Amino acid sequence: MSGERSSRERWLDEQLAEFTDRLLASEPGLQPSAADPELRALQEMVARLKRLLADPQLDPEAIERLQAQILVTWQRQHRETSAADEPRRSFSERLRTWLAPAPSRRSRWALGLSLVAIAALGLLLALFLPADAPLGWLGTATGDEAFWPLAVLAGLLLLVGIIWLWRSRS
Amino acid sequence: MSGVNDPFEVDLTTKELRSTERQDWANFSDEALVRLAQRGAPEAFSALCERYLPRVLRRLRAVLPPEEVEDVAQEVFAAMIRSLQSFRHEAQFSTWLRTLVNRQVANFYRRRQPAQVPLDLAGFDDPTEAGQESLPQEFDLRLSYSMDQTGLDEQIWLRQALLHLPENYREVLFLRFTEGLTFEEIARLQGRSLEATKSLFRRAVAALQRGLADER
């Protein structure tokens, strides 16, 4: 009896699985129609489940909107995680990085041009400012007011040159 | 998923990854996409999202009031984003995501019915998660719809019956109907024989039928 029952259960398992596969593959005109009442009731339940769980189409606009919102959340979280993971650098480390050789020829040229522009601006300021106003205080210690501003400018230019050469080395 | 174009097989550089065409991401395995997303590739995360969002929505729609589905889906993915870095690939990504979905559904009903909670959602919690509150034993989904019993349609009855099913029954039905896995794929995923999977499926359908008859 139990063997018979077991073989019936196996038959029901197979029949229902096959019906479900065909139904979910949208086989046209497929209806619960088994002659066996137990199997037919199960087929009807599967058809109801398909209507509830598998049939309703998802709204593509809703999916797109949700996906965009989720991506924004991911980007925000990723930025926060990356910022938190980056170790805090000391002033000396940051200075070393800044003084380190520039990574590419292009950025070396950009840096060089920037430094030359700063130096030229300083030179122009010194040449066109009134002699008694800005840099004049430097000359008060020696009394030679014309010498010190020029010396400071020359020192500045030298410093600029050294930094540029340092950053330019490959 | 096949390992075609898997970046861990061909060791793509970041530049090559950026130039990967949108349609190519669909060929990457879940594992590859997760690893790339963990490394910060937005395209990989986007591809994962594209692959799994419809499945998550279908699953949520089966057990939640329709107006709550989008909010809970967002909560699922927010939880996934928070935990993605700690995902260690010890389980399949899809299994891990299903656990997150179930947990958010359980959280939803907990928030919704803190006192009445007569509903069986045990299977919706992750049993491996330490510190989880114990789940309610029963729950009346009709309360969450604020409808009279007479106004409940077939879908609501079915949802309620689904929520009352034992977890293994509910899971096999969801895998077949909402995720569209074949019986062979379900068998592989759950580590059962094909015959045992078909038997579980038939018993789940029968249990649902009995549950509906009891509730009516």
Average pLDDT rounded to a whole number, residues A133-157? 62
Backbone angles phi and psi of B4, in degrees to 5: -60, 135
Query: What are the angstrom distances between the C-alpha of A93 and each of A89, A167, B122, B171?
Result: 6, 16, 54, 55
Contacting residues of B for A14, CB less than 8 Å apart: 198
Among the ranges given (A4-8, A87-91, B3-7, B182-186), the one the predictor scored with the smallest mean pLDDT: B3-7
CB-nearest partner of B49 from A14, A24, A67:
A67
**What pLDDT is stored for residue B204 in this prediction?**
96
Only one residue has tokens 């919706």, namely B124
Contact check, Cβ <8 Å, A53/B50? no
**What pLDDT is stored for residue A166 in this prediction?**
73
pLDDT in tens, A147-156: 666 777 778 7
Average pLDDT rounded to a whole number, residues A103-125? 72
Query: What are the angstrom distances between the C-alpha of A50 and each of A21, B62, B89, B122?
Result: 11, 11, 32, 24
> Which chain B residues in 121-180 lie under 8 Å from chain A, judged by CB atoms?
154-155, 158-159, 173-174, 176-178, 180
Nearest Cα residue to B172 out of A22, A93, A16, A101? A16
pLDDT in tens, B78-92: 999 988 888 888 888
pTM of the complete model: 0.63
Q: Name the residue type at position B144.
A: S
pLDDT in tens, B76-132: 999 999 888 888 888 889 889 999 998 998 899 888 765 444 445 545 554 444 333
Distance CA A64, CA B163 (A): 29
| Partner A contacted by B74 (CB < 8 A) | yes
Distance CA B75, CA B69 (A): 10
